[in-house]
């Protein structure tokens, strides 16, 4: 009995010690897991900070994960030739939404509505994108670019940001890669944006107590990331999209056929945006940071975006309803229509009675982006009804004739900024502004202003009229076409006026000096000419005894004359110089300053 009791006690103590050991081992395991998690977080922070280390090579840099929350929204945009396409990845639903190529205006109203609707946390943009789009997105993301910046590369990296490199995109084979994607954050870093977004109105410098201001201050600015131009390559982007729909039982051509069935390959900007989005998610490991390298960001569905009140219409519908003809759709893709094909009548060509290029572009945009907004449709119908009334036929005729002189100012301003504007560009700018001022005066006489142009009537203000007066006062277009360069009128610059007056008097001055030189040298004939880069010369007969005069230096001779440089000619070089070139330089300087 005692032996049995002792053995039971021994077994109980052994079980107790084993339980304690098990508890200790579990506690030790938890501590190790906790320490390992802390080390992982610290290692990730070190890797993010190492991206800005100057001694690290670009191949070893790491892309900072801009948004690691589960509800992050990544927007990739592409804009070219006036058309805009986009792709959005919703991490909370693991879905991709696509926006087909649609016409976009210079104010980027569609992009603004898309950002307001989707509320992205990260915006991906091409580093070599149109500078106007880069400035627009930078302002939305809280960073305003200087207006004088021309090259995007110079404005995409600031003092508080760094250019980083994505690790290779990994598929099933980690060794395969389509190339590194280099990106630079053009806004403040994510932590700083969160801190700024949590500031109260007083801390941010806004003393307003309105609920609207408080709600706007609580909004977090999206992070803007610039990707290189090769990330938006169409071919590599379509190849990456094909991998999204690839099936192991299909070959490469069948997988591409499935992809073209799922994705509209004619929307090139949309394909570029989606390809760049998938490459970025593969490289940044969005949502799969702690998964194996062969695990990609999950995409469970691909849907279509309908922005605001716009109607989604594909090219097949445009052709079936005869809204656009094949040749008109071919212009959108910058391809030629088939040779010998007759242009078919379409609804757009039937309604296109526009006299100006911007008007045709606006009408095409209305057809490409039909809306369901009744207010917008009513305002357009009101304008059509107004100009078709018999009492307004004279006004309509005058405005229509003026619209024929209106051209696109965008290309003219680009040439003015680059200093390559010709006389016809200046004249087109002047005619556009003067016609717009006259149209604005006609519209001001209306008893009831049209709703369609109510918000734009202020653009026909004093600034436009002052610009017209300045151009009319400054440029002499008749003389400009003769000189094949912009020629300034009198009164623009006093120094220029004196130089032009000297140029007009120059023939008489040279004739008088030629008579003096002829009398001094006792020559039969004598004339004074000017040769660029050489200066003023005295033209004497070939038989003239030059050796008898010490101040004469033979420059060159022809079959009948001898051109020499005298002391008087050297004085003219110092006093007058190249008068014509002085005029050209001064007028060119004024033209360049006016362009800016």
- Tell me how far apart the alpha carbons of residues 392 and 385 are, in angstroms, rounded to a whole number: 10
Give the CA distances from residue 492 to residues 482, 496, 500, in Å, rounded to whole numbers and listed in that order.
Answer: 19, 8, 12
- Tell me how far apart the alpha carbons of residues 474 and 594 are, in angstroms, rounded to a whole number: 10
Query: E strands within 341-422?
Result: none
Q: Would you state the pLDDT for residue 125?
A: 92
Q: What does the pLDDT average to over 341-349? A: 72
Q: Would you state the pLDDT for residue 85?
A: 92
Whole-prediction pTM value?
Answer: 0.63
Q: Are 460 and 452 in contact (CB under 8 A)?
A: no
Lowest mean pLDDT among 404-408, 419-423, 463-467: 419-423
Lowest mean pLDDT among 63-72, 141-150, 183-192: 183-192
Does the domain at 495-595 match CATH 3.40.50.300? Answer given as: no
Residue entry with tokens 């002085």: 582
- Tell me how far apart the alpha carbons of residues 546 and 537 are, in angstroms, rounded to a whole number: 14
Strand pairing partners for 30? none
pLDDT-based confidence at 41, cuts 50/70/90?
Answer: low
Q: What percent of the chain has pLDDT over 70?
A: 72
Strand pairing partners for 564? 538, 554
Strand pairing partners for 103? 83
Strand pairing partners for 75? 88, 123
Q: Would you state the pLDDT for residue 54?
A: 36
Q: Would you state the pLDDT for residue 181?
A: 54
Q: Sheet holding 163-165: strands in order across? A: 163-165, 182-185, 223-227, 122-126, 73-80, 83-90, 95-103, 301-304
Q: Would you state the pLDDT for residue 141?
A: 86
Which of 74 and 47 is assigned the larger pLDDT?
74
Q: What is the DSSP string of 47-106?
A: HHHHTT-TTS-GGG-----S--STT-EEEEEEEETTEEEEEEEETTTTEEEEEEEEE--T
Name the nearest CA neighbour of 240 among 288, 199, 279, 201: 279
Q: Are 359 and 402 in contact (CB under 8 A)?
A: no
Q: Is a pLDDT exceeding 80 seen at residue 151?
A: no
pLDDT-based confidence at 244, cuts 50/70/90?
Answer: confident
3 state SS for 185-234 = ECCCCHHHHHHHHCCCCCCCCCCCCCHHHHHHHHCCCCEEEEECHHHHCH
- Tell me how far apart the alpha carbons of residues 415 and 538 are, in angstroms, rounded to a whole number: 43
Q: Are strands 553-557 and 561-565 parallel, antiparallel or unpaired?
A: antiparallel
pLDDT-based confidence at 336, cuts 50/70/90?
Answer: very low
Q: What is the DSSP string of 267-328?
A: -HHHHHHHHHHHHHHHHHTTT-TTS-TTPPPP--EEEE---TTBPP--HHHHHHTTSS-HHH
Name the nearest CA neighbour of 524 among 542, 508, 512, 511: 542
Q: What does the pLDDT average to over 54-74? A: 48
Lowest mean pLDDT among 27-41, 352-366, 388-402: 27-41
pLDDT digits (tens, 9 = 90+) for 4-29: 434 444 445 444 444 444 444 445 55
Dihedral sign (CA 499, 505, 506, 509)? negative
Which of 95 and 445 is assigned the larger pLDDT?
95
- Tell me how far apart the alpha carbons of residues 85 and 73 are, in angstroms, rounded to a whole number: 17
Q: Are 363 and 348 in contact (CB under 8 A)?
A: yes
Q: Give the CA-trace dihedral at 247, 249, 250, 251, to 10 degrees.
A: 110
Contacts of 158 (CB under 8 A, 6+ apart): 143, 186
Q: Is a pLDDT exceeding 60 seen at residue 207?
A: no
Name the nearest CA neighbour of 430 among 476, 484, 479, 492: 476
Q: Is a pLDDT exceeding 60 seen at residue 168?
A: no
Q: What does the pLDDT average to over 385-390? A: 89
Contacts of 490 (CB under 8 A, 6+ apart): 497, 500
- Tell me how far apart the alpha carbons of residues 534 and 56 are, in angstroms, rounded to a whole number: 57
* CA angle centred on 97, ends 365 and 289, rounded to 5°: 140
- Tell me how far apart the alpha carbons of residues 200 and 502 are, in angstroms, rounded to a whole number: 67
Lowest mean pLDDT among 4-18, 153-167, 410-424: 153-167
pLDDT digits (tens, 9 = 90+) for 102-128: 888 888 888 998 999 999 999 999 988
Q: Name the packing angle between helices 423-444 and 393-403 (round to 10°).
A: 160
Which of 143 and 229 is assigned the larger pLDDT?
229
Superfamily of domain 58-196+215-304, CATH level 4: MutS, connector domain (3.30.420.110)
Q: What does the pLDDT average to over 185-203? A: 39
Structure tokens at 520: 């001094």
Q: Is a pLDDT exceeding 50 seen at residue 182?
A: no
- Average confidence score pLDDT of the chain: 76
Q: What percent of the chain has pLDDT over 90?
A: 25
Domain ranges of the chain: 1-50, 58-196+215-304, 373-483, 495-595
Q: Are 169 and 284 in contact (CB under 8 A)?
A: no
Which of 342 and 207 is assigned the larger pLDDT?
342
Residue entry with tokens 């702690």: 290
Q: What does the pLDDT average to over 411-436? A: 88
Domain 58-196+215-304 shares a fold with domain 495-595: no
In terms of Cβ atoms closer than 10 Å to its own Cβ (0-12, 13-18, 19+), residue 99 is: buried
């Amino acid at each position: 009995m005692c032996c049995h009791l002792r053995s039971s006690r021994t077994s109980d103590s052994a079980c107790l010690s084993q339980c304690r050991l098990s508890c200790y081992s579990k506690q030790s395991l938890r501590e190790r897991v906790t320490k390992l998690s802390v080390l992982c977080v610290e290692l990730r922070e070190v890797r993010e900070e190492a991206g800005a280390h100057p001694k690290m090579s670009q191949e070893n840099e790491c892309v900072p994960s801009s948004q690691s929350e589960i509800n992050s929204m990544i927007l990739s945009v592409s804009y070219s030739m006036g058309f805009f396409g986009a792709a959005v990845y919703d991490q909370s639903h693991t879905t991709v939404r696509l926006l087909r190529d649609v016409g976009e205006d210079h104010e980027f109203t569609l992009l603004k509505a898309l950002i307001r609707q989707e509320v992205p946390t990260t915006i991906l943009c091409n580093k070599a994108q149109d500078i106007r789009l880069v400035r627009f997105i930078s302002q939305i993301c809280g960073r305003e670019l200087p207006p004088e910046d021309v090259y995007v590369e110079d404005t995409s990296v600031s003092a508080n940001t760094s250019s980083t490199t994505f690790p290779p995109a990994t598929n099933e084979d980690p060794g395969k890669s389509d190339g590194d994607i280099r990106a630079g954050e053009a806004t403040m870093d994510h932590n700083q944006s969160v801190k700024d977004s949590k500031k109260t109105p007083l801390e941010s410098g806004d003393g307003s107590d309105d609920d609207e201001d408080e709600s706007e201050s609580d909004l977090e600015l999206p992070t803007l990331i610039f990707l290189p131009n090769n990330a938006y390559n169409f071919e590599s982007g379509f190849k990456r999209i094909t991998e999204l729909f690839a099936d192991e039982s299909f070959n490469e051509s069948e997988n591409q056929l499935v992809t073209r069935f799922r994705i509209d390959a004619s929307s090139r900007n949309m394909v570029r945006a989606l390809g760049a989005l998938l490459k970025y998610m593969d490289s940044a490991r969005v949502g799969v940071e702690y998964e194996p390298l062969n695990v990609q960001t999950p995409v469970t569905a691909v849907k279509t975006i309908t922005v605001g009140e716009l109607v989604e219409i594909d090219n097949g519908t445009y052709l079936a309803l005869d809204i656009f003809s094949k040749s008109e759709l071919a212009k959108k893709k910058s391809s030629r229509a088939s040779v010998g094909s007759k242009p078919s009548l379409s609804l757009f060509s039937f309604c296109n009675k526009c006299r100006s290029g911007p008007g045709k572009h606006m009408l095409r945009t209305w057809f490409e982006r039909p809306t369901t907004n009744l207010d917008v449709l009513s305002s357009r119908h009101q304008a059509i009804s107004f100009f078709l009334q018999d009492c307004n036929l004279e006004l309509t005729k005058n405005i229509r004739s003026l619209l024929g002189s209106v051209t696109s100012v965008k290309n003219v301003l680009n040439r003015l900024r680059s200093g390559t504007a010709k006389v016809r560009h200046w004249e087109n700018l002047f005619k556009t502004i003067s016609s717009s001022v006259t149209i604005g005066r006609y519209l001001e006489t209306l008893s009831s202003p049209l709703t369609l142009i109510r918000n734009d009537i202020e653009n026909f203000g004093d600034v436009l009229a002052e610009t017209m007066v300045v151009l009319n006062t400054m440029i002499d277009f008749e003389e400009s076409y003769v000189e094949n360069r912009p020629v300034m009128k009198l009164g623009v610059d006093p120094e220029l006026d004196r130089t032009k007056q000297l140029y007009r008097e120059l023939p008489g001055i040279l004739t008088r000096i030629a008579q003096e030189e002829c009398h001094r040298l006792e020559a039969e004939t004598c004339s004074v000419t000017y040769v660029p880069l050489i200066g003023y010369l005295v033209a004497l007969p070939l038989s003239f005894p030059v050796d008898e005069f010490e101040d004469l230096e033979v420059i060159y001779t022809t079959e009948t004359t001898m051109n020499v440089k005298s002391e008087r000619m050297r004085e003219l070089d110092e006093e007058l110089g190249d008068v014509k070139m002085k005029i050209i330089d001064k007028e060119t300087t004024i033209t360049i300053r006016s362009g800016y």
